[in-house]
Amino acid sequence: MLYSDKLEIESFLKEFKIKLKTFDIIFKNREKNEQALYDLEITPAQRLKYLEKLKTEDYYRDPNEDLFDPESLPFWEFGVTIKNKQVYIKISLWRGREVLCISFHIAEKKMTYPYK
């Protein structure tokens, strides 16, 4: 599998964090995302803090296209550990001003990080 290089990941994260602070974020309302907050015992504000702290080492997989909206920007995949559980994160710069988080839930399979 090919992976993005560190500079590409850093560039994405820099732009993501600028848009996040400037324009806000939209979270996809999915049952497993809501269940993760409950299972991890974290608030939506705490979830946001994890996104603000994402770093290159949290990178999981290369960007992929949105199958439902091919004109949107690709989704990048990351993972963090919260309370000894791997959490899968899928984010995009999206089309508008806001950034989009479509997934923030406990990982359904083992994740490996190429830069850890």
Q: Give the tens place of pLDDT for each residue, 35-49.
A: 999 999 999 999 999
Domain membership flag for residue 79: yes
Domain membership flag for residue 51: yes
Q: What is the reported pLDDT for 83?
A: 96
Q: What is the reported pLDDT for 73?
A: 77
The count of domains in the chain is: 1
Looking from the CA of 106 toward its CB, the CA atoms found within 13 Å total 15
Domain membership flag for residue 1: no
Question: Where residue 69 sits, what CATH number does that domain have?
Answer: 3.30.2310.40
Using 70 as the pLDDT threshold, list the residues of the chain that sit under it.
1-3, 66-72
Domain membership flag for residue 32: yes
Alpha carbon separation from 39 to 11, 35, 50, 82 (Å, rounded): 32, 6, 16, 10
Q: What is the reported pLDDT for 96?
A: 74
- What range does the domain containing 51 cover? 6-106
Which residue(s) pair with 61 in the sheet? 77
- Helix/strand/coil for 52: helix
